[in-house]
Structure 1
Amino acid sequence: MGSIDKEVETEFLPFFRVYKDGSVERLLGSPFVPPSLEDPETGVSSKDITISQNPPISARLFLPKHTQPNQRLPILVYFHGGAFCIESAFSSDHHQYLNSLVSQGQVVAVSVEYRLAPEHSLPIAYEDSWAALQWVASHSNNNGTVEKEPWLASHGNFKRFFTGGDSAGANIAHNVTMRAGVEGLHGGVRILGAFLTHPLFLGSKPNGSQNSSVEDENLSPSSFWDYLYPGAPGGIDNQVINPVVPGAPSLAGLGCSRLLVSVAEKDGLRDRGVCYYNAVKESGWKGEAELVEVEGEDHAFQLLHFGSENSKNLIKRLASFLLK
């Protein structure tokens, strides 16, 4: 204590503190848990894999209990939330949530461990997530250029390919799905559906309830965003965080056929989620969009109050989206 190098350089409460010696202390987030061969609650098996050594990208894979050995299951590429700076594919809350979703939705899920800010400023999280999505899609062809992950190669149905995420992860899911619409995925894989749960979108202009959940004296959304993504063109109105800003690419280019946006009534990000949903519908996008609003709940309740009635109902709703 008291040593000069442990002086605080900057902090964004309640998320993290950065010290003058360069170390980062994360103040929120659930503990890491190991994967399990067969979860006692759901029967889902999980394992951790390396997607890429350079850049370092890993993932936790989930496989539901299935009866037929060669059964082909839909594939979900999932991006965890945590404001781009906390949480993990290996954290306990996302692990139990995905066990439940994978069991009910009967999908093979790839929960991506992208690198976090502030050590790795944005857009690194987007680049890692795009590389992971392309890696999963590359399993669709049999050209033998990549070493195949057996759970994907043996059980994945690349005709039923989904992206999804919560909060910052929902923002990532939106951005990689837009990019897939422009650049395409390996093997010509097409994204059937994307689900965005409590998506983290921001902007300089107030939007209904405004971001009350992130508006306090410690944390202005604009200064927080500028710290996570220094030099982002347009700042908090950059298209990746404000996809409805004038001049952003048309949402008609969203690279999926089905979209499910879910919002929570008391979430300060609710109105931006609704605005995004309406903008997609009005863009000329040719897919099928639906909006789910849960009354009386706040941001990320499905993780923070896992096991509650509303959490169970939302997971069931997302599972039916994957099964449809």
Structure 2
Amino acid sequence: MERKMKLIPYKTEQTVSDVYEIPAGVKIIQALEAWEKGRKGNGVLIAVLDTGCDKEHPDLKGRIHQKSRNFSNEGEENDITDILGHGTHVAGTIAAIENGRGVVGVAPEADLLILKVFDDNGLATNENLIRAIDYAILQKARVISMSLGSPFDDPNLHEAVKRATQAEIAVVCAAGNEGDNRGNTVEKSFPAAYPESICVGAINQNKHMAIFSNTNDQVDLVAPGVEILSTWNGGNYQIISGTSMAAPHVSGAIALLINQYEHEFNRRLTEGEIYAQLVKRTVSLGLQKDEEGNGLLLLSERIYNNEAKAFVENRELINTH
């Protein structure tokens, strides 16, 4: 039986046409502190497996890699047109450029390998996804970002994720939006639930767990995923909620960490080292392990010293529900 992959459901909050701001999620994970040290994702290729991208969006022009491809069952090989807008939103959170207008992504100098895997109805086959993952490996992407999921475990898809991590690629996946606001229940979405994936849950802007975020023992960390402002089709901007919006914050953050540590170590990082450095940049919010994994992603250097304890004790960061 042919397995189908669906876009993880998300909630559209508001369309905005005229904006100039750094989105709240980018600030929450403290990307600005990394930018101050000159880390903006330069030279890091991030594959975005999604609905395509509005490559003419003024905040994304110049970031789209020339070898971006269409792996969906519709359109020509080079046609990455995004009808649904989801992929454009994800791409903007990762790498929207600094151009004096619009929004800025977590890694505004990273390059985006746009791999369209969904048709215009928001459906993809697992075969499409597997071919796109293998293509990302071939193009030497450093990160694969997937805001998609299925309740069904597919051994062939699992093997593709393994091939990517064995090629030293960080595979970042949205945890899924089937959560019931209880940390003691299990909701799993694949490929996020594979142990090789980096599974990202969502918090809101008050650093409380998003009520829709899946909880299970494969959640690695959490990032902002509620009322996230980013790029949208037609040069517009959209505010959306979902773990689909949390995962790209982590994908962009990995590009910043690659910039830092490959400069310090003077060599290419392994996937395991990327994951270790990512986990070092998390702080527990006092939630259950199945809710937050290792905690909230924070890029500031402060978590390496004694300020971390005071940071966690700030009641604004503790989920009290």
- What TM-score results when the alignment is normalised by the length of structure 2? 0.39
Q: 1 or 2 for the larger relative contact order (CA 8 Å, sep ≥6)?
A: 2
Q: What's the TM-score, normalizing by structure 1?
A: 0.39
Q: In terms of Rg, which structure is larger?
A: 1
